[in-house]
A = this chain, B = another copy of it.
């Protein structure tokens, strides 16, 4: 009886709700038992994300199978965009405080994939990082040259350009992908980079951290001051010849050692 009365009370409440608040914002569908499991998954996956984004997890390959939905929600919802915007804001705020040399040697290093360009459409079709990476498939996607810009990064890029930074794009993509990469960058709205650095034959097989450190070191030897560096992978940022400030962008889909 109590539960019937309870439901009647709910009906009255419901009728009192303005129409604009009805539907999605008021009613949730009945929760199935697996909702509790989903809530455990959410906590687990949130903590997994903490551990990978801080590099505590070290090298990892596929995302945990129980986190596929979590990663999908994160990447396609507000959180990814919000996290990207937050990092871009901190990057710009640092950049604005840099004392520029005015000699054309003030540099900023950007990674490309999941930093300037979004491959979300590709990963959406490949399980959001739950499938084993297939280089041949990904190369086909790269050749299409239609990855869109990550809006927060495009905005940051243009602001940095205005401030007088020279942009160095340092990617793990191979030299044979230079044309497709440059075409894609232009298509996405990026212009006027100082140099596009890709893996040449002698860089093949070198761990990303070492390859990127060497390239940064070369720039420093040329007299560039690397004030900032932006990348979605720790291997974009650590090692040697590191930037004055490094900015780790979110990426819960894959890890490059």
One complex includes copies of this chain to the number of 2
Q: In the complex, which residues of chain B have a beta carbon less than 8 angstroms from the beta carbon of A94?
A: 58
Q: Is A13 an interface residue (CB 8 A)?
A: yes
Q: Is A3 an interface residue (CB 8 A)?
A: yes
Report Cα–Cα, A31/B20, bound state, in Å. Answer: 11
Q: Which residue of B lies closest to A245 (CB)?
A: B58
Q: Is A179 an interface residue (CB 8 A)?
A: no
Would B245 and A43 count as touching, CB distance under 8 A?
Answer: no
| Chain B: minimal CB distance from A111 (Å) | 14
Q: Is A190 an interface residue (CB 8 A)?
A: no
The interface centre, meaning the residue of A4, A53, A58 with most chain B CB atoms within 10 A of its CB, is A58
Would B30 and A10 count as touching, CB distance under 8 A?
Answer: no
Interface of A: prevailing SS = helix
Would A47 and B85 count as touching, CB distance under 8 A?
Answer: yes
Q: In the complex, which residues of chain B have a beta carbon less than 8 angstroms from the beta carbon of A14?
A: 7, 10-11, 14, 27
Q: Is A206 an interface residue (CB 8 A)?
A: no
Would B90 and A58 count as touching, CB distance under 8 A?
Answer: yes
Report Cα–Cα, A127/B50, bound state, in Å. Answer: 24
Would A51 and B13 count as touching, CB distance under 8 A?
Answer: no
Q: Which residue of B lies closest to A91 (CB)?
A: B56
Chain A, 40-61, CB within 8 A of any chain B CB: 43-44, 46-48, 50-51, 53-58
| Chain B: minimal CB distance from A32 (Å) | 9
Report Cα–Cα, A54/B234, bound state, in Å. Answer: 10
Q: Is A102 an interface residue (CB 8 A)?
A: no
